[in-house]
Amino acid sequence: MELPSVEREQALPVRDDSSDFEAFVRGQREGLVRFLRRRTALEEDAQDLAQESLVRLMRYRGHAPTAWAALLYRIALNALNDRLRRAHTHREAQHTTLDVDFAELASPEPSHEQRLATQQELAMLQSVLLGLPLRCRQIYLLNRIEDMSYTEIAEHCGISVKAVEKHISKALRLLRERLASFNYPSLSRSLPDIAQP
């Protein structure tokens, strides 16, 4: 009586060709990498594809040893084609890798040091502004922050335009002096020389 096919397969002795298979893999790796290197742009890609192909070949280790080479190269070509299709689909040529020369990529954001310096300058500027006499500071901020003209400030505060000019001039002079004393000449130079009406 003949065994059903599943039982027949289980009844066959399993060949232990693990040492033959390992020897085959060791002997094929270098040639496979060269084969793939001729078809890929990067050595790393050829190495990765070779490794992937050898791992996939493990599924076929039960086949006849004479079929392993053909299977390995067919697997390698399929893996290469899969990778090329994936690259085309994901438009990998348009991507920038961060592994190579990532330090050269310019960021639109300021560096940590720049942000820290700006925060320090703003804190110092706020301190200097708060150090101005109250009326002088109010008039200066109405002009610079609220963008009010000298005439509008005069009407708002109930003073003359000439008084507004004096307060603005005094504020600019004091700001320049204090900023220079804090060793921030760049900020003091950024203040206008002549008050804008």
Domain co-membership, 20 together with 87:
yes
Segment 131-180, tens digit of pLDDT: 899 999 999 999 988 999 999 999 999 999 999 999 999 999 988 888 88
In this structure, are 87 and 128 located in the same domain?
A: no
Q: Which domain holds residue 171?
A: 123-190
- The answer, as to whether pTM is greater than 0.75, is no
With b for 16 or more beta-carbon neighbours within 10 A and e for fewer, the 90-126 pattern comes to: eeeeeeeeeeeeeeeeeeeeeeeeeeeeeeeeeebbe
In a domain, 38, yes or no: yes
pLDDT band at 124 (very low <50, low <70, confident <90, very high): confident
Q: What is the pLDDT of residues 68-92, one digit of tens each?
A: 999 999 999 999 998 888 877 776 5
Q: Which range, of 49-63, 112-126, 175-189, averages the lowest pLDDT? A: 175-189
Q: Flag whether 116 is in a domain.
A: no
Whether 115 is in a domain gets the answer no
Q: What are 12-35's pLDDT values in tens digits?
A: 444 456 788 888 988 999 999 999
The structural domain count of the chain equals 2
- Tell me the C-alpha distance between 8 and 96, whole Å: 55
The answer to the question of residue 149 being in a domain is yes
CA 17/CA 65 separation, integer angstroms? 9
Question: Which CATH number fits the domain that encloses residue 130?
Answer: 1.10.10.10
